[in-house]
A = this chain, B = another copy of it.
Amino acid sequence: MSTKHVNKEMSDVSRHILDVAAIHFAEKGFAGARVDEISAEAGISKSSIYYRVGDKEALYHGVIVHMVSSMLEVTRDRVQKVSDAREKLDVFIQTTADFVLSCPHFSPIMMREIASGGANMSTETLTAMGKLKDYLHEILQEGTAQGVFRQVDSGLVHLVIGGAVNFFAASTPIRDKLIQLSDEHECKCLLIEKEAVVNEISEFVYRAVKADR
């Protein structure tokens, strides 16, 4: 892998390339994505992609690093603005969900990455993900100290939140297909209204972690 312009501010062209690349990596995965297609869709020659960003691997890492660091930044900013533990948990979940839902490439890429055992994850990315888990850990610990949350494993909660939010975000096309297949019984679920679902997940998690009384 070669990475270029690493410490410089990223140019608009590079940003555009990475945005297009993100779509392709999300839809087809690293191995399935085609540099030709990315270049064609970005309206930039293949050689220019190599000139600007580097090889396919650099493209992939550029996409992931940008996503994860953005998420980390957004989450930190928004969680810091509230003080109540329960509210913090809600904000954490809402922020996670907002980010994942507003950036449709995030879930597919992350889920594939997890599926491959983080084979292509840099330490940088892993550290950023670890920080996110640490935020949640602090929130839960604070809530437990205040008696609003029960003693609960933060890793597990993170798993549930991440799992639910990412599965929800990524499974939209599959759910659509499932709905079309089962026309006999009405769709009994609200999984269409995104906002409602996120609120439900938040409520769901709160109920699961709140102190027994």
Residues of chain A having any CB pair with chain B under 8 Å: 26-32, 107-109, 111-118, 121, 123, 126-127, 129-130, 133, 137, 153-156, 159-160, 162-168, 170-175, 177-178, 181-182, 188-191, 197, 200-201, 204-205, 207-208
> Measured between C-beta atoms, what is the minimum distance from A98 to chain B in Å?
17
Contact B174 A117, beta carbon cutoff 8 Å: yes
Given contacts A29-B29, A156-B201, 13 further A-B contacts (CB under 8 A): A27-B117, A28-B116, A108-B115, A117-B174, A118-B173, A126-B178, A126-B181, A153-B189, A155-B188, A155-B190, A159-B168, A159-B171, A162-B167
Are A111 and B115 closer than 8 Å at their CB atoms? yes
Report the bound CA distance from A133 to B175 in whole Å.
Answer: 11
List 26 contacting pairs A-B, 8 Å CB cutoff, sorted by A.
A29-B31, A108-B115, A108-B116, A111-B112, A118-B173, A121-B174, A121-B177, A123-B181, A126-B178, A129-B178, A130-B178, A153-B190, A153-B191, A154-B188, A155-B189, A156-B189, A156-B190, A156-B197, A159-B168, A159-B171, A160-B163, A160-B164, A162-B167, A163-B167, A163-B168, A166-B167
Residue of B nearest to A133 (CB): B178
Q: Which residues of B contact A26 (CB under 8 A)?
A: 115
B160–A29 CB distance below 8 A = no
**Which residue of chain B is the closest to A190 with respect to CB atoms?**
B153
State A48–B57 Cα separation when bound (angstroms).
Answer: 25
- Contacts A160-B164, A164-B160, A181-B126; is A114 near B117 (CB within 8 Å)? no
